[in-house]
Chain A
Amino acid sequence: EAQVTQNPRYLITVTGKKLTVTCSQNMNHEYMSWYRQDPGLGLRQIYYSMNVEVTDKGDVPEGYKVSRKEKRNFPLILESPSPNQTSLYFCASSQGLAGLTDTQYFGPGTRLTVL
């Protein structure tokens, strides 16, 4: 089954404790992205990757890191989480054909609470 998976689905942590949210897709998509969803703000892009070893900042990258060492995986790293990073996080992937904005498929979401 074609899908985007994220782990963990729920996480409660404390300020400053490093954490990683994993994202994996099995569709051989080139493009992957992270969004955060906050009430009244919709979804905003954090980072994206056009291919292996190619990553770039989205609209709200502060406090986050990413890496793309394999095509299928795109982990989101919070080196020192703070309460304002409490949010619902989505990973997305798409084929990312040049010259097109392809349909993005989203993972199930990770609800993060930073105390």
Chain B
Amino acid sequence: AQKVTQAQTEISVVEKEDVTLDCVYETRDTTYYLFWYKQPPSGELVFLIRRNSFDEQNEISGRYSWNFQKSTSSFNFTITASQVVDSAVYFCALGANFGNEKLTFGTGTRLTIIP
């Protein structure tokens, strides 16, 4: 069975600080995909990134970066120089059930950026 753990329920940081959101996953599959989605206060789910299990290279996109470590089954997300617009709930998700494209979601981390 797949499982995603986001141990940080809520995080608050002051604007311009860096913040890392943790994600730990469990799966028996050797091929799988990891995702991060952002849910702003308006409620929609915004896709941020997709990584496959064969590509452990870290990725950077502007102020966002992702650290994928297979050895620790983690896929952490860092926001550098945080801004108020980054305030949202962030979900980590695992896709590993081919045929059913189902995503197994973590319970989310609510990030609040204090101006």
Contact = CB atoms under 8 A, between A and B. Distances in A.
Contacts of A96: 101
A45 interface: yes
Contact of B43 (A50, A59, A88, A103): A88
A101 B43 contact: no
Given A42-B91, A42-B106, A101 B101 contact: yes
Given A42-B106, A42-B107, A101-B33, A106 B44 contact: yes
B107 A48 contact: no
- Interface size class on chain A is 20 to 34
A58 B43 contact: no
A42 to B, nearest CB: 4
Contacts of B106: 42
Contact of B44 (A35, A40, A43, A109): A109
A74 interface: no
B99 A106 contact: no
Interface in A17-60: 31, 33, 35, 40-45, 48, 50, 56, 58-59
Interface of A: 31, 33, 35, 40-45, 48, 50, 56, 58-59, 88, 90, 94, 96, 98-106, 108-109, 111
Interface of B: 4, 32-33, 35, 37, 43-45, 47, 50, 91, 93, 95-103, 105-108
16 contacts: A31-B101, A35-B105, A42-B105, A42-B108, A45-B103, A48-B100, A50-B100, A56-B100, A59-B102, A88-B43, A94-B101, A101-B96, A101-B97, A102-B101, A103-B35, A108-B44
* Interchain residue pairs A-B with the least CB separation, the first 5: A101-B95, A42-B105, A106-B45, A101-B33, A43-B105
